[in-house]
Amino acid sequence: MGFEPTNVGFANRCLRPLGYPADAWLRAQFSKAGLIRQAENEQEDTKRWIFCVRAACLGVNCGLTLWYGGCRMGADMAKNAKLIELETRSVWSLLVSYSLPAIVGMAAMSAFNIVDAIFVGQWCGAYAITAMALVFPLMNLQAAVGSLVGLGCAATASITLGQGDYHRAFRVLGHCVMLSLITGLLAGVLPAPWMDEILHIFGAEGETLEPAHDFMLVMMLGFPVTCSFMNMNHLMRASGYPVKAMVSLLISMLVNVATAPLFIYVMGWGMIGAGLATIVAQAVGLSWVLIHFCKPRSVLHFRRHIYKLNGVIVRRICTVGLPPFMLNFCACVIVVVFNRQFMAYDGQMGVGAYGIVNRLLFFFVMVVLGITQGLQPIAGYNLGVGNYARVRRVLFYAMAAGTCVTSFGTLLVELFPREIVSIFIEETDANAAQLLEIAAHGVCLMAICFPLVGAQIVIGNFFQSIGRPVMSISLNLTRQLFFLLPCLGILPLWLGESGIWLSQATADGLAAILCFVVLYLFFKRSFHRQDSTLNHSTHTTQPMQTYTLILASRNAHKAQEIAAMLPSRFTVKTLADFPEAPEVEETGKTFAANAALKAEGISAVLPGLVLADDSGLCVDALCGSPGVLSARYAGEHGNDAANNRKLLAELRAMPAMAPYSARFVCAMSLAQDGKQMAAFEGKAEGHISLQPRGAAGFGYDPIFVPEGLHATFAELSPAEKNAISHRACALVQLVEYLESYGK
C-alpha cells in the first residue's frame, strides 16, 4: 500500500532539495512530533502513516496554491494598473512620471552624438569634427527610416491598448521586431558598398572624406542593432514602462561614455572607434529591452504567431509614423543645404561650427521630444477610451513644459556662448580658433526664436499621438520646406554668413505662429469641449466601420468571451436573440466541417453576418480525443465537470507519459445568405494537468496549461487568456478579413 502517484511525485519534488526521499523524511519528522506511534500491527501503522502524509501534502498543496495565486493576482493587478492609471491618475502627475524617464532617455540619445563629438574634437582634431557634421544628415536619414517604424508602432500600440484590442497590440509588437530588422538591413547594410559615393553627395571631400568614411561605415553596418534598439524602446515606453525605457537608454549612454575614450584614444582606432563605441552601447541597451519583452508579465511580450506581417497593420504603422519620418527626412535635406551654404561662405570650418551648434541646440530639442513621448501614451490611450478632457489637459501641460525647456536653452547659450562651444574643441591651432569663433557667433543668432520651438514641437507631435498624421505632417513640412528653405536661399544674399544663422530663427518664429493658429482652429471646429460630441475616429476623419455578428451558438460563456476579445466596434448577438433560429446538427468529422455546417445553416434563415465556431481539446496520448466530441465527451447529458473527470481518468489509467501534450483548436466560419465567406483556425499548444486548478473559464480550462506558462487557462485573468487562446488566434484573422473585406 502506498501514496497516490500524484501525491508522491508532488511531495518528492517539494522535498528533494532537502536531500531525502519524501516518504523517509516525512516519516522521521512525524515520529519526532509524536504523530506516528509504534502500532501493534503493520497495517495500522501504514494507515496512520498514509493519513499523515496525505494531510501534509494537502497542506503543502494549499500553501503553494495560495502563494502562486497571490503572485498571479499581484501580476494581474500590476499589469492592469499600468493601463488604468493612464485613465484615472492626475494628468500632471502622469505627464511628469512618463516624461521624466523619457527626457532622461532622449537626453541620453542626444548624448551619443555629443559625447562622440567631444571626444572626436578633443583627440582627432577640427577636420574630424567637421566630418561628423557632414555625416549628420546621413544619420538623420537613418533616424527617419527608424522613426517610421518605431514611433508608428508606439502610437498604434497606445491607441490599440486604449481601445482594448489586445490582439492587435501584440501583433504590433511582432511587426515592430520584423520591420526593425528589415529597415535596418535596407537602410544600413545594403548601401554600405557605395559609402564613398554617398558621402560625396553629402559634401565630404579632401581632409574630411577619410574620417567621415571610417565613422559612417561602422554606423551603417550596425544600423540593424540601432534600429531595433530605438524602435523597441519606443514601444516599451508606450506600453506603460517609461522607467525601463529610460534605464535602457541610460545604460547605453554609460557604455558609450566608457568605451568611446577606450576605442578612440587608448586603442588608437580614431573615427572607427567612435562609431564602434556607439554600436556596442546600443547592443547592450537592446539586450535590456529584449529581456523585458521576454517576460510574460510585461503588458506586451514575445509569443508565437505575432511575427507574420499583415498589410493592414503595416499601413497603419507607416501612416502614424509618417510625420516623424518626414520631419527627419526634411531635417536631412535642410542640414545638407546648411552645409553647402556654410561651405560657400566659411569653408569646412563653417560646416564644423554648424555641426557643433546643431548638436548643442538639438540637445534641448531632444528634451522636448522626451516630453512629447510622455504625452503620447497619455493622449493616445485617453483618446482610445473617449476621455477627451484629459487629452486637452495633457497637451497644454506639455506645451508649457516644452516652452520652459527651450527658453532655458536660449538663456544659457546667449549668456555663455563661447564657454559652451569650447567644450567640443580646444583652441590648439588656427583652424580650431576659426571654428570656435564662427560657432560662438552663430549660436547667439540661431537661438533668437528658440523659446517658441518647444510649444511648436509639442503641437506637431500631439497630432501624431491622437492619430492625425496629415495635420502633423503638414505642420512639419511647412516649417522645413516652406519657411526654412526659402530663408536659406534669400537671407544670406542680404546678410552674408549671419543670414544663414538667422534663417533658422526666422523659420522657427513663422512656424510657431502657424502651429498656434492651427491648434486654435482644431479645438474650435473639431475637438469640442463637450466630450460626447467629439469624433471618435483615431486614424481618419471618417467614422470607423462597425460590424454586427450573429454567433451561431446559445453558449453564454462563449459569447461573452468572443465579445470581450473583439474590438469595441463589433457587436455580438447570439441565437438566444433569435428564438426562431433552428438547431443545426453537428455531423461533421472535423472542427472546420462543423463550423461551416452551423454558419451556413443559420445564415440561410437569418440576415447578416453569421459566425460559427467549433472548438475542442485534442490530447496526443488519446489519439486526438476528445476532438469534435469535446462538449459531449462524457455523454449527451454530460457537463464540464463530467468531461474533465472522464478525460483525467483515462490519462491516469495509462502508463506514465507526463506531461500529456495537448492543444485547443478553434475553427471559425463566417457566412452570409447560406454561403461560407471565409474560414479561420487558431490553436493553443500546451499540456494537461492531472490536478484541476482555477475557477475561471469553462470547459477544459481547469486542466489545460498553455505552452510557456505554469497556470491553467482557468487560473489566468480573462485578459491574459483572451490574448493567447485558440479562439483569440482565430478572431484576429476574422478581424483582419473583415477590415479588408469592408474596404
Active site amino acids: 614
Number of neighbouring beta carbons within 10 Å of residue 696: 15
Neighbouring C-alpha atoms within 13 Å toward the C-beta of 127 = 11
With beta carbons less than 8 A apart as the criterion, state whether 535 and 541 touch.
yes
DSSP helix, strand, coil percent of the chain (3-state; round to 5): 70, 5, 20
240: left (phi over 0), alpha (psi -120 to 50) or beta: left
Residue 682 φ then ψ, to 5°: -130, 150
* Cα–Cα distance measured from residue 450 to residue 494, given in angstroms and rounded to the nearest whole number: 22
- Strand 547-551 and strand 570-574: the pairing is parallel
DSSP per residue, 571-603: EEEEGGG-TTPPPPP---SSHHHHHHHHHHHHH
Residue 451 φ then ψ, to 5°: -60, -30
Instruction: Give the residue from 528, 405, 526, 523 showing the smallest Cα distance to 457.
Output: 405
Task: Give the rounded distance of the alpha carbon of 212 from its chain centre.
Answer: 34
C-alpha cell at 593: 466541417
Contacts of residue 358, Cβ cutoff 8 Å, sequence gap at least 6: 133, 136, 335, 338
* Cα–Cα distance measured from residue 569 to residue 551, given in angstroms and rounded to the nearest whole number: 16
Q: Which residue has the cell 574630411?
A: 208
* Cα–Cα distance measured from residue 558 to residue 45, given in angstroms and rounded to the nearest whole number: 51
**Exposure string (b/e) for 250-285, b if CB count within 10 Å is 16 or more?**
bbbbebbbebbbebbeeeebbbbbbbbbbbbbbbbb
* Cα–Cα distance measured from residue 163 to residue 539, given in angstroms and rounded to the nearest whole number: 13
Strand-pairing partners, residue 123, are none
* Cα–Cα distance measured from residue 117 to residue 113, given in angstroms and rounded to the nearest whole number: 6
- Strand 675-688 and strand 570-574: the pairing is unpaired
Respond yes or no on whether the N-terminal peptide bond of residue 492 is cis (omega within 30° of 0).
no
What is each CA distance from 71 to 74, 78, 499, 506, in whole angstroms?
5, 10, 64, 58
DSSP per residue, 293-330: HH-TTSSS---TT--S--HHHHHHHHHHHHHHHHHHHH
The H or E element that residue 687 is part of is strand 675-688
19: left (phi over 0), alpha (psi -120 to 50) or beta: left
* Cα–Cα distance measured from residue 497 to residue 488, given in angstroms and rounded to the nearest whole number: 10
The order of strands in the sheet holding 675-688 is 570-574, 547-551, 609-619, 660-672, 675-688, 704-706
CA 295, 297, 299: angle at the middle one, nearest 5? 100
- Give the single-character DSSP code of 526: T
Neighbouring C-alpha atoms within 13 Å toward the C-beta of 653 = 7
Q: In sequence order, which ranges of 447-484 are alpha helices (DSSP H)?
A: 453-465, 469-477
- Strand 675-688 and strand 609-619: the pairing is unpaired
